């Protein structure tokens, strides 16, 4: 996964639908309602929280439209989704801004800095050794962006060139495994740094999750997509390893309730992507 600059989205604006996103299992409703009409889950799972009455959530903006700052608040697709988990639990949500590497490594969860992490985090075997993942909620691929007129149409054209990626991301893994001999893979801490490097010519190409490329192109008209790599990766929420079974049960229940194309799913999807799930 890759990150985007927080200033890119204006309040009320919709994101482009040029995403090629596969179906995702997102749930915004769960069975049972309280007296005030708020959706609740069964009391059978009894998760504990770092702060009583609060689901502390770690995320890593900027990565529009999944998590980014808008009017001083962290918002986005992931945030709306995890807020539904908190509603199901009957608790409030506290969003914590963390470095992606600290989420990727499991540090923020295993050191009890948060109850759950959601950051367009691809489920991988290496990550699953340090955190426990929910069921998948989004499917993505990787895509390459270059400057218009560069003549670059594939990774094979980048021998001797520099390719920008986010450090610790699945994009870095893919490019490292597939770049031609002589290409230099250049890791950056955040995607806005990658954008700036491509814009200035410090790198010749950049690889992002395809879910955010449309936003890159909207804000850099002289960029173009030069390739898409169907890696079949899936995003999941993450919890502390071997310690959050009850919380994971509730998350998975929320994710299982409404499939793509449902009213609840389309509401959150349309808010951030401007296109229906089906």
Q: Give the CATH number of domain 141-232.
A: 3.40.190.10
What pLDDT is attached to residue 1? Answer: 56
What residue has token string 């449902």? 262
CA dihedral 96, 265, 34, 90 (to 10 degrees): -10
Distance CA 128, CA 9 (A): 32
What pLDDT is attached to residue 223? Answer: 97
DSSP element (H, E) containing 218 = helix 213-219
What pLDDT is attached to residue 72? Answer: 94
Return the DSSP state at 46: -
What pLDDT is attached to residue 275? Answer: 67
What pLDDT is attached to residue 16? Answer: 38
What pLDDT is attached to residue 276? Answer: 56
Q: Beta 138-147 vs 223-235: how paired, if at all?
A: antiparallel
Q: What is the DSSP string of 173-208?
A: HHHHHHSPTT-EEEEESSHHHHHHHHHHTSSSEEEE
Distance CA 13, CA 271 (A): 9
What pLDDT is attached to residue 262? Answer: 74
Distance CA 83, CA 85 (A): 5
* Pair of tokens at residue 74: 């962290």
Per CATH, 6-138+234-273 and 141-232 having the same topology is answered yes
What pLDDT is attached to residue 67? Answer: 94
- Specify the 3-state DSSP secondary structure of 235: strand
Digit-coded pLDDT (tens) for 16-58: 333 333 334 444 433 444 444 455 554 567 899 999 999 999 9
Pick the closest to residue 104 from 136, 60, 64 (CA basis).
60
What pLDDT is attached to residue 163? Answer: 98
In tens digits, what is the pLDDT along the chain, a chain of 278 residues?
Answer: 544 433 344 334 443 333 333 334 444 433 444 444 455 554 567 899 999 999 999 999 988 899 999 999 999 999 999 999 999 999 999 999 999 999 999 999 999 999 999 999 999 999 999 999 999 998 899 999 999 999 999 999 999 999 999 888 899 999 999 999 999 999 998 888 999 999 999 999 999 889 888 888 988 999 999 999 998 899 999 999 998 899 999 999 999 886 667 777 788 989 998 865 44
Distance CA 239, CA 102 (A): 13
Map out the domains of the chain as residue ranges: 6-138+234-273, 141-232
What pLDDT is attached to residue 202? Answer: 97
Q: Give the CATH number of domain 6-138+234-273.
A: 3.40.190.10
What pLDDT is attached to residue 189? Answer: 85
């Amino acid at each position: 996964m890759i990150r985007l600059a927080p200033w890119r989205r204006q309040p009320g604006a919709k994101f482009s639908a040029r995403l090629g996103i596969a179906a995702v299992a997102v749930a915004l409703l769960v069975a049972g309602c309280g007296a005030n009409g708020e959706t609740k889950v069964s009391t059978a799972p009894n998760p504990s929280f770092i702060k009583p009455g609060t689901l502390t959530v770690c995320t890593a903006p900027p990565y529009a439209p999944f998590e980014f700052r808008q009017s001083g608040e962290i918002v986005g697709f992931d945030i709306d989704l995890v807020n539904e988990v908190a509603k199901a639990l009957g608790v409030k949500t506290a969003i914590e801004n963390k470095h992606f590497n600290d989420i990727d490594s499991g540090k923020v969860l295993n050191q009890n800095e948060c109850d759950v992490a959601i950051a367009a985090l691809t489920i991988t075997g290496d990550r699953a050794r340090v955190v426990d993942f929910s069921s998948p909620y989004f499917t993505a691929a990787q895509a390459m962006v270059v400057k218009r007129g560069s003549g670059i149409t594939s990774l094979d054209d980048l021998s001797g060139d520099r390719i920008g990626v986010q450090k610790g991301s699945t994009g870095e893994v893919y490019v490292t495994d597939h770049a031609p001999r002589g290409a230099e893979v250049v890791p950056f801490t955040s995607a806005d740094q990658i954008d700036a490097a491509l814009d200035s010519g410090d790198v010749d190409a950049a690889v992002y999750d395809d879910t955010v490329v449309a936003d890159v192109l909207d804000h850099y008209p002289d960029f173009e997509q030069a390739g898409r790599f169907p890696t079949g990766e899936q995003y999941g929420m993450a919890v502390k390893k071997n310690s959050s079974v009850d919380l994971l049960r509730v998350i998975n229940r929320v994710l299982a309730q409404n499939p793509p194309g449902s009213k609840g799913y389309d509401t959150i999807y349309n808010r951030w992507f401007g296109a229906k799930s089906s």
